Structure 1
Amino acid sequence: MQVGHAALIELTIDSDLVRHHLPAIRLLIDQALAQHPSRLVLDLTTCPTIDAAGIELLLSTHRRLWGSEGRLTLRHPTARVLRLLEIAHATKVLQIDAR
């Protein structure tokens, strides 16, 4: 039996990446990861803010993908989100497409 792998999955996060929104976001990410993508892109263009729990979700998603030789990319985080990721030193680990 072979398991199919998705080459690329893109999700748009348009709510705050904060503790009380994470259950729904985590469910979407888990569904995406169940497809074993080689690359997961989270579009943060309209994500207003992030807290420590949101950063931890991104880092754990990165670790899960990395363990299966996949990659996580954060696309176009807002200036606020990018700054908070920088303060947490998450930009040293996470791939950011800030264009």
Structure 2
Amino acid sequence: MVPATAAQAVPLVEVQVKGDLDAQSAPEVNRLLEQALALRPQQIVVDLADCDTIDGAGVLLLLDAHRRAVRDGGAVALRSPSERARRVLRLAKVDRIMQLLPYAVVELAPAGPVVA
């Protein structure tokens, strides 16, 4: 296996978390983050729109992923955490370390002329 170089880094990888991010789900989410980190992206966006709650294990997992991404010249941002998850992230001061993004709305251009 050839080690990744800066020229091989991808700009963005998105990881979507569904359900709770807790001690039970952390190993699976960690596996996905490991795969994302292996790509050496400039940024990993963890989509938390469908994540109801985060516990201490989830917070530690996110912080570790961010630390590892920064070490390789990247970053991890969290998108669309629920109000409950946002409260946990705020109490753990994660919002001071990682960027919290609002939900990204993608506007698609019409495929052809619009007939009224």
Name the TM-score, length of structure 1 as normaliser: 0.94
**How do 1:19-30 and structure 2 match up within 5 A?**
19-30=23-34
Q: Indicate the SS of the match to 1:9.
A: strand
Please tell me the root mean square deviation across aligned C-alpha atoms, in Å.
Answer: 1.3
Which residue number in structure 2 is paired with residue 40 of structure 1? 44
- The alpha carbon displacement at 1:62 in A equals 0.7
- The alpha carbon displacement at 1:80 in A equals 0.5
More helix by share: 1
Deviations 1:54-98 (A, max 9, x none): 000011111001111101110111100000111111111111013
Runs of 4+ deviating beyond 4 Å:
none
Deviations 1:19-52 (A, max 9, x none): 0111111000001110111110000001000000
Where in structure 1 are there 5+ consecutive unaligned residues? none
Which residue number in structure 1 is paired with residue 113 of structure 2? none
Which residue number in structure 2 is paired with residue 69 of structure 1? 73
**How do 1:1-99 and structure 2 match up within 5 A?**
3=4, 4-99=8-103
The 2-side partners of 1:19 and 1:29 are apart by: 15
Q: Which has the higher contact order (CA 8 A, sep 6+)?
A: 1
Name the TM-score, length of structure 2 as normaliser: 0.80
- The alpha carbon displacement at 1:15 in A equals 2.0
Identity over aligned pairs, percent: 35
- The alpha carbon displacement at 1:2 in A equals 6.6
Q: Indicate the SS of the match to 1:16.
A: strand
Q: What one-letter code is carried by the residue in structure 2 that aligns with 1:26?
A: N
Q: Indicate the SS of the match to 1:84.
A: helix
